Structure 1
Amino acid sequence: MTLDPARLTRPASAIDAAANAYTEKLLALDPGFATELGMPGHETEYRDFSPAGLDAAADAARHALAGLAALEPVDSVDAVTLHAMRERLGLTLETLETGWPLAELNNIASPAQGIRATFDLMPTATVTDWEHISGRLANVPAAVDGYISSLRAGAARGLVSARRQVSTVIDQCGRHASAEGFFATLAGGAALSPTADDAGTSLPAGLTAALAGNADLARAAYGTLVAFLREELLPQAPERDAVGRERYALASREFLGASVDLEETYAWGVAELDRIIAEQEAVAGQIRPGATVAEAKALLNADPARALHGTDALTAWMQKTSDAAVAALAGAHFDIPEIMRTLECRIAPTQDGGIYYTGPSDDFSRPGRMWWSVPEGEDTFTTWAETTTVYHEGVPGHHLQVATATYQSGLLNNWRRNVCWVSGHGEGWALYAERLMDQLGYLADPGDRMGMLDAQRMRAARVVFDIGVHLELAIPARWGSGTWTAEAGLEFLRANLDISAGQLDFEFHRYLGWPGQAPSYKIGQRLWEDIRDARALRDGSGFSLRDFHTQALNLGSVGLDTLKAALLEY
């Protein structure tokens, strides 16, 4: 049976109502999340970053679980919702009980970045949009104060992130606090969009002054955060980067939505890395007979036809490559409704490194976007290394995945569409998508295929590094001796991640400060492929890969144990 690519509908159930009620509670508790979803109503506000805010989140989860306990699923969609919510909310409570959310601080995904990053998703087309931005700038100090109170409460319980993370965040926040930093630049560059009805007119003088003044408040707040981190938290921060088995196992479950044998997964990661390197060596021989991987990459980097100079050229190439993928895949290998076929490629307003995707608003008036955060001073980019990245972040990767869940409003409740996001599911799908594009022939060029393998090699190396360093396991003989340390891990990453010095530094700190997240990509891909292969074995000659993808994507993002149950049991 071919599944209908159009919007699917079903009557809302009691379980849907409970999930939607929990979603509304989350949106009320976290206005920044509403901004992320493009929902109006609380554009100037922040969530409570203090311990009281975490308590409120715990109360909401307990209340929702209690309500679900009295309900029975009426169909397979309900069964998936119930399975997913019990797993996710139960894990939320388990994590909050450890106290570590009080101490949340790292170089990529903590309130130190999130308070600022909210502005990246706020519209800037109209006077009203800029009034909202000004109002939220004015509320940055209270958000930062709440965050500091949580960090202080965590420290009182002996829960402090590693010294390396605190030092990195001090540097990041210091840049935002400067007179040339993000907040000052945002206010100083305030202008109406050329497409706005009132384009061509200036912002009201009072609003311009308010933006400048509130940007100064935000800068000062980040200066206060820097002072707290440097003077109070840093002296308490431990030197040890490894978080240990107990904390790591919990984090791994959070990012996978599944429990895995960490030693077996580590051994698999070591073997997978060896296998990918062997594949790269074979491709290197296609680029030039007898060439090593390093020599083949040097040839690719020296090829002017594969080079981009400047961020304008990078943006144009990203957009062209993304648009071509959408046009080629829609209707042939994937079901992509017209409303989902717009994907904007942009340079991020930060210089921290990394490439990421943000989903469309609920009504698609704000499209999905692919962002490239370019470290300062970097202005040369190679297409052979990044073609696979466009597929990962765009189509058939994150954009197809996230936009499908947003699109299926008649099938999925709001929690399934907009709240539940599991890294191992989402990032595992994106890596799965990269390999699939190779299998479909879109990476037939040896250079582009080398880039895909390089990306896969990076993700396999993350499994080895992340589990190895945080659990302090034995280093494989190919890569050294003794047990893993952060310093030994850095040399290992340098040997396996062919990225710039700025990106390498960012990734190294990310893995140390966000345990369990980076391996979820490759482990997630492994579990996705296991589920697909099991489904193909079960269905035999009736198996359709396109229908499998449609059914899987129509589930939204769920934990990988839930995904397995949904595709093989329900």
Structure 2
Amino acid sequence: MIDNPREATRIDATAEDYVQRLAALDPLAATSLGLPGHEDELPDLSPRGHLARAEAAMEAVAHLTELEAADEVDVVTMAAMSERLGLDAELYMSGEVGRQLNVIHSPVQNLRDVFDLMPTDTTEHWESIGRRMTALPDALAGYQESLRAAAVDGKVAARRQIEACIAQAEELADESTSFFTTFVAGARPDGSEPSGALADLLTTGAAEARRAYGELSQMLRRELAPKAGTRDGVGRERYELWSRYFLGATVDLDETYEWGCEELARVTAEQNAVAARLYGPGTTPAEAMARLDADPARRLRGTDALQAWMQETSDRAVAELADTHFDIPEPVRRLECRIAPTQTGGIYYTGPSADFSRPGRMWWSVPPGVTEFATWRELTTVYHEGVPGHHLQIAQTAYRSDLLNTWRRLACWVSGHGEGWALYAERLMADLGYLDDPADHLGMLDGQRLRAARVVLDIGVHLGKRAPEDLGGGTWDALKAWEFLKANANMAEGFLAFELDRYLGWPAQAPSYKVGQRLWEQIRDTSAQEARARGEELDLKAFHRRALDVGSVGLDVLRSTLVRRPDAPASRR
């Protein structure tokens, strides 16, 4: 029971109106947020659709300027919406939205990935899926229209990204390999095989989806690839814009590059010390990892064992952290761990629906042929994606309907805030003793080293900075980045190749993890200093509760909210 729940304000109403407008203009977002009413629709990805979404963002910001904040929650909402939606409009005006094409986060992938989030229990669910598949040709036709318009202005993705997306589209178009083929083949509405009109709809929908991706692959190959350049770096101007978008903060990129070099050296030294603890002085991290990989006690065989281990590990973390180190509401204590239907190698989290009927989920996309998994590597991953990482952060915010409007709870996501928190959570679990086994600690450091390395690599390549002398000096490029990545990541080359393509095609996103962690730690440390100035010690549990109750806002907004009034009482329960 909530005592004295906060009353909605005019600013909340503006935020709610914008969410409803966004859901109608972007049904992918509606499904991701768990908002009903657009299950069988797809967005207009033509220039007209992009303009409509930009206008909605700008109109919401303009409306906010006419209102006055009723309380501190309103102050944060106004700041966060102005920053986020203002950047949406800025990205549109700069032409960044219409040109989006990369290996991991563009309409090529997003239009397929939305089907992972759709319920599949009933005939009605599969009817929505079928209708949405039949909408794919129009959505991808609009996307092609935007890519052509951007190309007229010389805004074309690098050849590396286009070639990778051609391969992805061709796989989705091939009946023997397509996700849509296997997805429909596995349909069991209400526990039985589809028949009659539903069977026809699904067969037609899958065929239409495959055809649409086939047409996309041909357009990319024939029209876009010939216009593409080989340069991967996007330059300082574009990078600064995307850095602000992914961090919700303005940082000195040159200072951040130098800090990344220093952080990489620090994490590497810590790795060396842990490797020596495991197997004696002189043992390198690579040697220690090879010995751990060969240890049968630290391996899982098969995806069933992997899924069970993920779930058990997650459940145990929730049970032990709830009511001790964190406030975890009852609905948030449910987290589903699943093997993803795709085979890309990624591990990711999807948030709950607004009413928690769809719980938060941790997904593991296992590549073909991979049958064994090392627990020492992945324990920290479960904490990163689950609790106290993304699940605690996202699901707890979603739960706070007594405090936050729908935009604050569900629709606002800032990578530096979210991914920075997840890395912060990994380190926190080490501080709490959950990674005291040196093998598990080494696994956490392996991930932290990669995240530090990609700060250096990402800024180095995209800004054309001078490469380290051990890479031959000169200007950073993809070849130097590849050698640097192999030297600082203990991963199979197939994984690393995809990772490199991701960094080169999605500027400033990868550094937002480690830079976001840095900013989270700075905010916490500043709060601790101010508490000591008052003769107190920082209550870390209360700090985390207050910080997470703010929601996923830009890190500059988070800092001003938490540091401006460090003695403010905790939000209402």
TM-score w.r.t. the length of structure 2 is: 0.96
Structure 1 segment 191-230 matched on structure 2, within 5 A: 191-192=188-189, 198-199=190-191, 201-230=192-221
More divergent stretch after superposition (29-38 vs 98-107): 29-38
Q: Do 2:46 and 2:145's aligned partners in 1 also have CA atoms closer than 8 Å?
A: yes
Q: Do 1:359 and 1:367's aligned partners in 2 also have CA atoms closer than 8 Å?
A: yes
- When the two chains are superposed, the root-mean-square deviation of aligned CA atoms in Å is 1.3
Find 1:538's aligned residue among 530, 536, 548.
530
Structure 2 residue aligned with 1:190 = 187
Structure 2 residue aligned with 1:340 = 332
Structure 2 residue aligned with 1:64 = 60
Q: Do 2:286 and 2:490's aligned partners in 1 also have CA atoms closer than 8 Å?
A: no
Structure 1 segment 53-202 matched on structure 2, within 5 A: 53-180=49-176, 181-192=178-189, 198-199=190-191, 201-202=192-193
Report % sequence identity. 58
Distance apart, 1:358 and its partner CA: 0.1
Judged with a 3 Å threshold, the aligned counterparts in structure 2 of structure 1 residues 479 and 239 are, in CA distance, closer, same or farther, namely: closer
Structure 2 residue aligned with 1:390 = 382
Structure 1 residue aligned with 2:352 = 360
Distance apart, 1:8 and its partner CA: 8.1
More divergent stretch after superposition (491-500 vs 476-485): 476-485
One-letter identity of the residue aligned with 2:47:
P
Q: Do 1:270 and 1:476's aligned partners in 2 also have CA atoms closer than 8 Å?
A: no
More divergent stretch after superposition (533-542 vs 280-289): 533-542
One-letter identity of the residue aligned with 2:194:
L
Distance 2:266 2:242 in 1: 27
Structure 1 residue aligned with 2:505 = 513
Structure 1 residue aligned with 2:568 = none
SS state at 1:350 partner: coil
Could you list the per-position Cα deviations for residues 349-401 of structure 1 after superposition, in whole angstroms to 9, with x for gaps in the alignment? 11122111000011111110011112222222101011000000000000000
Structure 1 residue aligned with 2:294 = 302
One-letter identity of the residue aligned with 2:284:
T
Find 1:492's aligned residue among 484, 488, 496.
484
Structure 2 residue aligned with 1:241 = 232
Distance apart, 1:7 and its partner CA: 8.9
Find 1:438's aligned residue among 420, 430, 450.
430
Structure 1 residue aligned with 2:223 = 232
SS state at 2:450 partner: helix
Find 1:372's aligned residue among 358, 364, 367.
364
Q: Do 1:188 and 1:212's aligned partners in 2 also have CA atoms closer than 8 Å?
A: no
Matched, 1:408 2:404: no
Find 2:457's aligned residue among 451, 455, 465.
465
SS state at 1:454 partner: helix
Judged with a 3 Å threshold, the aligned counterparts in structure 2 of structure 1 residues 312 and 8 are, in CA distance, closer, same or farther, namely: farther
Distance 1:15 1:534 in 2: 30
One-letter identity of the residue aligned with 2:467:
I
One-letter identity of the residue aligned with 1:132:
S
Find 1:50's aligned residue among 33, 41, 46.
46
Q: Do 1:7 and 1:410's aligned partners in 2 also have CA atoms closer than 8 Å?
A: no
Q: Do 1:469 and 1:489's aligned partners in 2 also have CA atoms closer than 8 Å?
A: yes
Could you list the per-position Cα deviations for residues 413-466 of structure 1 after superposition, in whole angstroms to 9, with x for gaps in the alignment? 111111110000000000000000000000000000000000100100010010
Distance apart, 1:13 and its partner CA: 1.0
Q: Do 1:61 and 1:89's aligned partners in 2 also have CA atoms closer than 8 Å?
A: yes
Distance apart, 1:256 and its partner CA: 0.2
SS state at 2:336 partner: strand
Q: Do 1:44 and 1:132's aligned partners in 2 also have CA atoms closer than 8 Å?
A: yes
Could you list the per-position Cα deviations for residues 179-235 of structure 1 after superposition, in whole angstroms to 9, with x for gaps in the alignment? 12101111111113xxxxx43x43232211220111001100000000000010000
Structure 2 residue aligned with 1:548 = 543
Distance apart, 1:478 and its partner CA: 4.6
Give the count of matched residue pairs: 560
Q: Do 1:375 and 1:502's aligned partners in 2 also have CA atoms closer than 8 Å?
A: no
One-letter identity of the residue aligned with 1:551:
R
Matched, 1:558 2:549: no
Distance 1:89 1:213 in 2: 38
Distance apart, 1:316 and its partner CA: 1.1
Distance 1:453 1:108 in 2: 25
SS state at 2:403 partner: coil
SS state at 2:204 partner: helix
Distance 2:17 2:30 in 1: 15
SS state at 2:98 partner: helix
Distance 2:293 2:95 in 1: 47
Structure 1: gaps of 5 or more residues? 193-197
SS state at 1:103 partner: coil
Distance 1:509 1:80 in 2: 36
Distance 2:30 2:5 in 1: 24
One-letter identity of the residue aligned with 2:564:
E
Distance apart, 1:52 and its partner CA: 0.3
SS state at 2:307 partner: helix
SS state at 2:326 partner: coil
SS state at 2:129 partner: helix
One-letter identity of the residue aligned with 1:311:
T
Distance apart, 1:310 and its partner CA: 1.6
Find 2:409's aligned residue among 417, 439, 449.
417
Structure 2 residue aligned with 1:195 = none
SS state at 1:285 partner: helix
Distance 1:237 1:8 in 2: 59
Distance 1:214 1:404 in 2: 36
Distance 2:450 2:268 in 1: 11
Structure 2 residue aligned with 1:12 = 8
Q: Do 1:535 and 1:567's aligned partners in 2 also have CA atoms closer than 8 Å?
A: yes
Q: Do 1:348 and 1:372's aligned partners in 2 also have CA atoms closer than 8 Å?
A: yes
Distance apart, 1:348 and its partner CA: 1.2
Distance 1:558 1:8 in 2: 25
Q: Do 2:23 and 2:35's aligned partners in 1 also have CA atoms closer than 8 Å?
A: no
One-letter identity of the residue aligned with 2:561:
A
Structure 2: gaps of 5 or more residues? 566-573
Distance apart, 1:479 and its partner CA: 4.4
Q: Do 1:103 and 1:154's aligned partners in 2 also have CA atoms closer than 8 Å?
A: yes
Q: Do 2:187 and 2:193's aligned partners in 1 also have CA atoms closer than 8 Å?
A: no
Distance 1:8 1:501 in 2: 56
One-letter identity of the residue aligned with 2:54:
A
Could you list the per-position Cα deviations for residues 152-185 of structure 1 after superposition, in whole angstroms to 9, with x for gaps in the alignment? 1100111000000000000011111111210111
Distance 1:7 1:462 in 2: 46
TM-score w.r.t. the length of structure 1 is: 0.97
One-letter identity of the residue aligned with 1:263:
D
Distance 1:244 1:76 in 2: 39
Distance 1:312 1:566 in 2: 44
Q: Do 2:44 and 2:139's aligned partners in 1 also have CA atoms closer than 8 Å?
A: yes
Distance apart, 1:328 and its partner CA: 0.9
One-letter identity of the residue aligned with 2:408:
R
SS state at 1:381 partner: strand
Q: Do 1:353 and 1:506's aligned partners in 2 also have CA atoms closer than 8 Å?
A: no
One-letter identity of the residue aligned with 1:544:
D
Could you list the per-position Cα deviations for residues 118-148 of structure 1 after superposition, in whole angstroms to 9, with x for gaps in the alignment? 1010000011111111110110101110100
